[in-house]
Chain A
Amino acid sequence: MAETVLDVEALSVTLDTPSGPLAAVHHVSFALERGQSLGIVGESGSGKSMTALALMNLLPRSATRQATRLRLLDHDLTALPDRRFAQDLAGQRIGMIFQEPMTSLNPVYTIGRQLTEGVVRTGQMDAAAARRRALEMMARVGLPDPATRFDQYPHQFSGGQRQRVMIAMALMAEPDVIIADEPTTALDVTVQAQILRLMADLQRDLGMAMILITHDLGVVAQTVDRVAVMYAGEFVETGQVAQVLGAPRHPYTAALLHAAPEPDGARHRLAAIPGQIRPVYGQRSACVFENRCAHATPDCRAGHPGLRAAAPGHAYRCVLPPQPRPAAVQPQPTGQPRDVGSAPPVISLTGVSRVFASRATPFHRPHSLRAVDRVDLDVLPGETFALVGESGSGKSTLARMLLGLDTPSEGEIRIDGQPVSALQGVDRARRIQPVFQDPYSSLNPRRRIGEIIAQPMALHGLGSAAERSQAVEEVMARVGLPEAFRHNYPNQLSGGQRQRVAIARALILRPEILVCDEPTSALDVSVQAQILNLLADLKAEIGLTLFLITHDIGVVHQIADRVAVMQAGRIVERGPAARVLHSPAEAYTRTLLAAVPSIARALATGAQERGQPDGH
């Protein structure tokens, strides 16, 4: 049996908050052997990042850490003063990679200095040796021309390159354990695939132990051996990837799997998890998931469930008998795209370009950027049309032009046969309405929910006060918001609820078209499922046309009828969603699809590669 490098027993982190001590991490236990990798997966607020920070002695001032055992190699971290930890272990025996590559490097120092200072500080290497090692690591993580780039500054690197620098930096001292906290969340999917592959390779080649923290089940499935599902501060299920994701025993794991849209397989209605994580203050006297669990019984409230073994190496915290897989997989209501082919398009773009040009000044040569490049596009009434692309592909610029927030430099956009430029104010608003990405910033924090939803009517002086109130009530019911919310402010609602408010506001003028710009990318998987289901319902039942802009292939697969793939301002491929996703014609589409982490694919290949999980 391999050497255990990290041994954690009953790790807890308590945050001192105005409402009392909050148990952000509760009795987390695991052991990691050399060469092993553990994925910690959970939604926001689950405590997964706190766990990582606790291991690195990086907790905020308001947090305290307790553990019955916390050993890194032969060091007892519970007894080790922070000074000693920083001196002897941090960055050397245990390293960390963070989520935000754009801000995690110091902007005023060179990459070379930041790479080498750790090993030089501890005297492991002299400056020359450190430089050689840094160049070697830069090459190893795939940064071209290390000798030149060594002396460059972070702002001269792209996001993906900076994350490679971060990886190289974490590996400089050949640590025994490496912790990666959402290392690819800020990156495009194709870059994410490269980075994940790189990390998996390095981990195997260098024989490190790795902890990968992520919200993405697909990322976990394809990158690590073992997985821990975290909820409300505790590990609710742990085991081999194939065990936990293939045969989940905890209702939360199962629910999470059913809430995530999978790009492979048949389309079915997502099983949204109602409610939201409830923070736990003080003692745990019941199952933490009980309030959202479809199978909850009075037993669940009787006590805090202990860990139960499902199989060797596979444990979960639930008192219920193993649930059968939910047989009731509902079909997605699609609401057949009406009259496809015969009806005139509701949106039609001909040769649309948007060029951003800077004017020439005595100090600048003029330069121009074609964000959108001669796009032709028709969207038919009642269909869901998805525009897919990575960051910088021009998809959001296109959306802004559709909404009249920007005007094309060339070409024409018509809505209902009329040029957008000719549609003013209320005419445009009655036809096409937006739903934006971030439900935190798309609602004016100083207005009440009722006012926000009624705003389109108020802006155009439509209806009496009573009529507006009536309309608000109707539309809130339609999007599943309790009427009582109308007197609340946005900050009192959860992310999913706010996105429902944004949708309600968009619907109140009964437009034909909703332009949804990344409507779920700021939301957790379980909440995303709620919103995707709502959009699908709205489309099926009131015949809305949805123009969906997204980078997420899973979302496309879930609700799109037709799809166009955008790259560098151009549409490279288009067609029915099923055809494009399953038999893409273009190389770029294939790359994009291959890069999407898929649980099913990972489990299938994993079973071949790894053989059966070796229980011990």
Chain B
Amino acid sequence: MTPPTVQTAPAADMPDRAPTPREILRRRALRHRGFQIGLSILVGLLVVALFAPLLAPHDPFAQTLSARMLPPVWADGGRWDYPLGTDQVGRDYLSRLIYGARVSLLVGFGAATIGMVIGVTLGVLAGYFGGAVDHAVNFVLTAQLALPGLLLAMALVFIIGPSVWVVIGIVGVLHWTYYLVVTRSATMRLREIEFVAAAKALGASRRQVLIGEILPNLVPQILVIFTFELGVAILAESALSFLGVGIQPPTPSWGLMIAEGKEVMFFRPWQVVLPGIAIFLLVVGANLTGDGLRDITAPEGRT
């Protein structure tokens, strides 16, 4: 049937050119100083990690016995060819720091991704189906929260045998609860929102509802958690490596470098201070990005 056009009062004038959601995001991002700083740090260190071979002045593994225990350039006896000095076996500290970014970021992104897959899957299922599924997931969550994460990670890494991949896997598998808690409650809320009911009434399948309606609305929150978990995973890796049950020598890892520097920290404190600052910067970058993302993607009040 092709019915005649109904003569109805038109739906009023065009709204004042209200911004699209993307424009709102861009506008808020441009006003958010913390977000800009955080993202710059994160992207900057990502670039450093990617182009490490081009940026590092020396091979991070090369031991130059003639240049052992050099202080940084600003201290007495410092040399410009080793700007941050060398360690006990004569490896260039700057190069090792630059390569250390690779390990941290690899573990960070890898573990945060594993956690995301586990947490979001469980969270969405529990939130959407509720009932017995929710109870079961909730039980698993309570149990996981109770387990002492660091201790378990140490034990498991030590038992399985330490390597970058084992560290990524263990840290990832132990850090999914935050994703779960947030996506679960967000899904519960979304499930009751009318556009989801509308999609169901329009005949959408369960899959279409979950993937087409619910998941896209979770993306901002998932991204925010991802940036925080990135920082958490980086810290976890550095702690494991520091304790000797993480990344193994001679791979340059910031946590490991602090452990190595600890032996000489009263005489050459920069060997402890510098990698610590590197970790701090990277994690601050991730957290500021996360805080910023949360502010930027916060739902607007109705206008």
A residues whose Cβ falls under 8 Å from a Cβ of B: 272, 274-276, 291, 400, 403-405, 424-429, 432-434, 436-438, 440-446, 455-456, 459-460, 477-482, 484-485, 488-489, 491-494, 496-497, 500, 502, 505, 510, 515, 530, 533-534, 537-538, 541-542
Contacts and interface: CB of A to CB of B under 8 A. Distances in A.
Contacts of B11: 479-482, 496-497, 500, 530
Interface stretch (B47-55, B83-91, B104-112, B190-198): B190-198
Interface string B1-36: 101111111111111001111001000000000000
B184 to A, nearest CB: 20
Given A441-B195, A446-B216, A534-B8, A491 B203 contact: no
Given A434-B198, A542-B3, A480 B10 contact: yes
Given A440-B302, A480-B8, A497-B15, 17 more contacts: A274-B9, A274-B10, A274-B12, A275-B12, A429-B201, A434-B201, A445-B21, A446-B21, A446-B217, A459-B202, A459-B212, A482-B14, A488-B20, A491-B24, A491-B303, A530-B9, A542-B1
Contacts of B203: 424-429, 456, 459-460
Contacts of A478: 3, 5-6
12 contacts: A403-B200, A405-B201, A437-B194, A444-B195, A460-B203, A479-B11, A480-B10, A497-B11, A500-B11, A505-B198, A534-B8, A538-B6
B9 A436 contact: no
Interface residues of B, number: 40
Contact of A491 (B1, B13, B195, B300): B300
Contact of B8 (A445, A456, A537): A537
B9 A272 contact: yes
A291 B202 CA distance: 38
A426 B205 CA distance: 10
A443 B201 contact: no
Contact of A444 (B3, B20, B213): B213
Nearest to B5: A477
Contacts of A541: 3-4, 6
A442 B20 contact: no
A533 B217 contact: no
Interface of B: 1, 3-15, 18-21, 24, 193-195, 197-205, 208, 212-213, 216-217, 299-300, 302-303
Tell which of B4, B11, B195, B303 has the most Cβ of chain A within 10 Å.
B11
Contacts of A496: 11-12
A276 B1 CA distance: 34
A352 B221 CA distance: 41
Nearest to B16: A278
B176 to A, nearest CB: 25
Nearest to A543: B3
A486 B28 CA distance: 25
Given A478-B5, A480-B9, A405 B197 contact: yes
A592 to B, nearest CB: 26
Question: 4 closest A-B pairs (Cβ-Cβ)?
Answer: A429-B203, A442-B194, A425-B203, A492-B18
Contacts of A443: 195
Contact of B21 (A400, A460, A489): A489
A425 B4 contact: no
Contacts of A492: 15, 18-20
Nearest to B204: A459
Nearest to A435: B198
A16 to B, nearest CB: 16
A433 B15 contact: no
B202 A433 contact: yes
Contacts of B216: 444, 446
Contacts of A275: 12-13
A407 B6 CA distance: 35
A436 B15 contact: no
Contacts of A429: 201-203
Nearest to A527: B12
A404 B201 contact: yes
A497 B199 CA distance: 19
Nearest to A538: B6
Contacts of B9: 272, 274, 480, 530, 533
A441 B10 contact: no
A35 to B, nearest CB: 38
A291 B16 CA distance: 13
A488 B21 CA distance: 9
Given A446-B216, A534-B8, A538-B6, A425 B194 contact: no
Q: Residue among A291, A492, A505 with the most chain B CB within 10 A? A: A492
A534 B203 CA distance: 25
B203 to A, nearest CB: 4
Nearest to B6: A537
A404 B13 CA distance: 36
Nearest to B209: A459
Nearest to B13: A275
B12 A494 contact: yes
Contacts of B205: 425
Contacts of A502: 198
Nearest to B10: A480
B200 A404 contact: yes
A276 B8 contact: no
Contact of A433 (B5, B18, B201): B201
B73 to A, nearest CB: 48
Nearest to B217: A446
Contacts of A538: 6
A228 B1 CA distance: 49
Contacts of B204: 459
A461 to B, nearest CB: 11
B277 to A, nearest CB: 37
A186 B12 CA distance: 29
A489 B18 CA distance: 9
A428 B3 CA distance: 22
Nearest to A292: B12
Contacts of A437: 194
Contacts of B302: 440
B21 A442 contact: no
B160 to A, nearest CB: 40
Contacts of B21: 445-446, 489, 491
A404 B21 CA distance: 32
B130 to A, nearest CB: 13
Contacts of B18: 488, 491-492
Contacts of A488: 18, 20
Q: Interface centre among A441, A481, A482, A530, by most B CB within 10 Å?
A: A441
